[in-house]
């Protein structure tokens, strides 16, 4: 649960002069852990390990923010039995706004999750008590202090994608009757309190927030993250976005809901790249720097910025497979196609370099990889746009 030499290689190879990197989601505490071998940031050892990453990025002239993460109900209690967690003396998973089990949206049957014990049926998380909320917020503060020790330029609060803070925001996972539930203002309270706490630790311009607004189209949500339902997404996310104006954020990042688990991994046929923007409407509400991510191509990103919809666009998939993505976008070079099947291979459990640090830069042998023209992303209905070099 500490970054290692491959993390140093991965992030430093993608660092550019003046460019901003945002880390993978990083657990703030033992209670936050919900996936195999994801790095954390609550111990001195973890901070020291991250320092090697930030030093390497800074040596290239880059900037790097640490994305602070609490998975909430996505975790399962058995994660807390990991020796590193169970001996921490700290609260353990799984917790949420309310004790609502993660179930299939149509069958209402419990979903399953992969844990250290194998595949398990999801169980109801423990609802955080009102008395625990100051402790939870302090966990975020502590992670921010560790981020400073580790040399990060800032932190990004992960308040999106059906994880803990999003579980408070959404009505389907927040059934509380206290000051953290019920009204839209109450459901956004934790988001605001954590954002405020992080700003107090990090200072102005060194905190960012990520949200994933959804909307109702013909009565249905256009995106459900981990089966998180919401009766009033347009209203609650309007309030959440507007509330971020009160904090001196570096930026607010909004996820465009254009990814589907049905994606076949072929960017030539992935229709998500062609879906229209749905969260640009928040540009009129948020007055600071607005960033977007999710389903962008270099061309659509440039258009979103030129149109004034967003100030910045972040890339994930294409940055994984193209360490020199910035240079390729600048000169229009073909992009190396990502291997979706290796995205979540843990480097701690045998994944190693494959699909992590073995993607080639321009001029290097392509090996098993393929390239495609930037203009062909999402357009082609066949593999004819792929060319093996």
Q: The domain that contains 138 carries what CATH number?
A: 3.20.20.70
Catalytic residues: 163
Tell me what the pLDDT averaged over the chain comes to.
93
In a domain, 238, yes or no: yes
pLDDT at 382 over 50: no
Instruction: Enumerate residues 6+ apart whose C-beta is below 8 A from 335.
Output: 318, 321, 322, 325, 328, 371, 372, 373, 374, 377
Judged by phi (left if over 0) then psi (alpha if -120 to 50, else beta), residue 309 lies in alpha
Instruction: Please check whether residue 341 lies inside any domain of the structure.
Output: no
Task: Report pLDDT digits (tens) over 354-376.
Answer: 999 999 999 999 999 999 999 99
- Give the whole-angstrom CA distance, residue 245 versus residue 258: 26
Rg for the chain, CA atoms, rounded: 20
Question: Is residue 210 in a domain?
Answer: yes
Record the pTM.
0.94
Q: pLDDT tens for residues 87-133?
A: 999 999 999 999 999 999 889 999 999 888 889 999 999 999 999 99
52 falls within a domain: yes
How far is Cα 101 from Cα 99, in angstroms, rounded to an integer?
6
CB atoms inside a 10 Å sphere around CB 260: 13
pLDDT greater than 50 at residue 383: no
Tell me if the bond preceding 244 is cis, omega within 30° of 0. Answer: no
Residue 333 lies in a domain: no
Identify the pLDDT of residue 260: 65
pLDDT in tens, 250-292: 999 999 998 765 666 788 888 888 889 999 999 999 999 999 9
Read off the tokens for 289. 């720097």
Q: For the chain, give the percent of residues with pLDDT over 70.
A: 95
Q: What is the predicted pLDDT for the residue at 281?
A: 96
Instruction: Over range 59-86, report the average pLDDT.
Output: 96
- With respect to residue 249, please indicate whether it lies within any of the assigned structural domains: yes
Q: For the chain, how many structural domains are there in total?
A: 1
Task: Establish if 264 belongs to a structural domain.
Answer: no
> Is the pLDDT score of 10 beyond 90?
yes
**Parent domain of 237:** 5-255
pLDDT tens per residue across span 306-338: 999 999 999 999 999 999 999 999 999 999 999
The answer to whether position 17 is within a domain reads: yes
pLDDT of residue 264: 66
CA pair distance 310, 188, nearest whole angstrom: 23
């Amino acid at each position: 649960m500490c970054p290692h030499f491959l993390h140093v290689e991965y992030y430093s190879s993608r660092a550019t002069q003046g460019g901003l990197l945002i880390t993978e989601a990083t657990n703030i505490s033992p209670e936050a852990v919900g996936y195999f071998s994801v790095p954390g940031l609550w111990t001195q050892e973890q901070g020291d390990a991250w320092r090697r990453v930030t030093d390497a990025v800074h040596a290239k002239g880059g900037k790097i923010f640490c994305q602070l993460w609490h998975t909430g109900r996505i975790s399962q209690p058995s994660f807390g039995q990991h020796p590193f967690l169970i001996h921490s003396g700290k609260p353990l998973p799984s917790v949420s706004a309310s004790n609502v089990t993660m179930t299939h949206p149509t069958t209402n049957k419990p979903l399953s999750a992969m844990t250290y014990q194998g595949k398990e049926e999801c169980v109801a998380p423990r609802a955080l008590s009102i008395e625990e909320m100051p402790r939870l917020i302090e966990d975020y503060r502590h992670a921010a202090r560790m981020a400073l020790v580790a040399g990060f330029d800032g932190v990004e609060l992960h308040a999106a994608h059906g994880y803990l803070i999003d579980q408070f925001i959404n009505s389907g996972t927040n059934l509380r009757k206290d000051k953290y539930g019920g009204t839209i203002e109450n459901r956004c309270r934790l988001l605001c309190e954590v954002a405020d706490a992080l700003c107090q630790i990090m200072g102005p311009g060194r905190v960012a927030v990520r949200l994933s607004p959804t909307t109702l189209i013909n009565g249905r949500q256009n995106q459900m993250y981990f089966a998180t339902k919401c009766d009033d997404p347009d209203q609650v996310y309007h309030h959440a976005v507007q509330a971020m104006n009160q904090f001196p954020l570096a930026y607010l990042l909004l996820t465009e809901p254009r990814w589907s688990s049905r994606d076949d991994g072929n960017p030539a046929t992935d229709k998500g790249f062609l879906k229209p923007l749905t969260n640009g409407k928040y540009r009129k509400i948020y007055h600071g720097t607005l960033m977007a991510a999710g389903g962008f191509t270099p061309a659509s990103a440039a258009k979103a910025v030129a149109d004034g919809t967003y100030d910045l666009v972040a890339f994930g998939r294409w940055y994984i497979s193209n360490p020199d993505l910035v240079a390729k976008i600048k000169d229009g070079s073909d992009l190396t196609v990502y291997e979706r099947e290796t995205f979540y291979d843990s480097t701690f459990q045998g994944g190693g370099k494959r699909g992590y640090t073995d993607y080639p830069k321009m001029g290097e042998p392509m090996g098993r990889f393929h390239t495609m023209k930037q203009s062909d992303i999402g357009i082609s209905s066949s593999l004819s746009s792929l060319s093996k070099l």
